[in-house]
Amino acid sequence: MAREKEIKEFEEKVLFINRCAKVVKGGRKFSFSALILIGDLKGRIGFGFAKANEVSDAIRKGSEAARKNVITFDMNDGTIPHEIQISWDGAKLLMKPAKEGTGIIAGGPTRAVLELAGLKNVVAKNQGSNNPINQVRATFKALKMLKTKEKSLKERGVI
């Protein structure tokens, strides 16, 4: 029963499926990898990457991995608290807060992550790598590093 509630709690999105081929004596053996995102549209988001011999198995394993990898982050009225620039492997990401009504201006995997996270107004630019896994990891790294002004002041002992 608790598992069913958890499934309905998160929205799930298949971001990327890759077919891999291994050449063996009898020909080619295909396997699949899947990149899965889950989010509750309220500031909690997770991603999972899994490989299997069937697409459905890869998606199931990826969603289980995503549930174990859920993070929460700080946001201000549907946008991020401050500008941030991150790099992960070859992927570079620039994210800026935006005014109300701007929407999410971002490309590819970064856009999907920000939508499932519940952000409404953000401007983001992917630079460098176009590998979806690295872009997702860079976006997650950026979201983890976000801090509100109050949290930052509390850490410094001002408040």
CATH number for position 131: 3.30.230.10
Residues 103 and 56 in one domain: no
Residues 126 and 51 in one domain: no
**Which pLDDT belongs to residue 86?**
94
What is the average pLDDT value for the chain, to the nearest integer?
92
| Distance in angstroms (rounded) separating the CA atoms of residues 141 and 55 | 28
Give me the number of domains the chain comprises.
2
**Which pLDDT belongs to residue 146?**
93
- Residue 59 is part of which domain span? 2-71
Cβ atoms of residues 80 and 124 within 8 Å: no
Residues 88 and 152 in one domain: yes
| Distance in angstroms (rounded) separating the CA atoms of residues 157 and 111 | 35
Helix (H, G, I), strand (E, B) or coil at 1: coil
**Which pLDDT belongs to residue 2?**
55
Residues 18 and 91 in one domain: no
φ and ψ at residue 86, rounded to 5 degrees: -135, 150
Residues 58 and 85 in one domain: no
Q: How many CB atoms lie within 10 A of CB 60?
A: 16
Residues 125 and 114 in one domain: yes
**Which pLDDT belongs to residue 39?**
95
Indicate the residue type of 147: K
* Secondary structure element (H or E) that encloses residue 141, with its range: helix 132-145
Residues 89 and 143 in one domain: yes
| Distance in angstroms (rounded) separating the CA atoms of residues 59 and 47 | 11
**Which pLDDT belongs to residue 38?**
96
Residues 61 and 107 in one domain: no
Q: Rounded to 10 degrees, what is the CA torsion of 88, 90, 96, 98?
A: -110
Cβ atoms of residues 107 and 86 within 8 Å: no
Residues of the chain with pLDDT under 70: 1-7
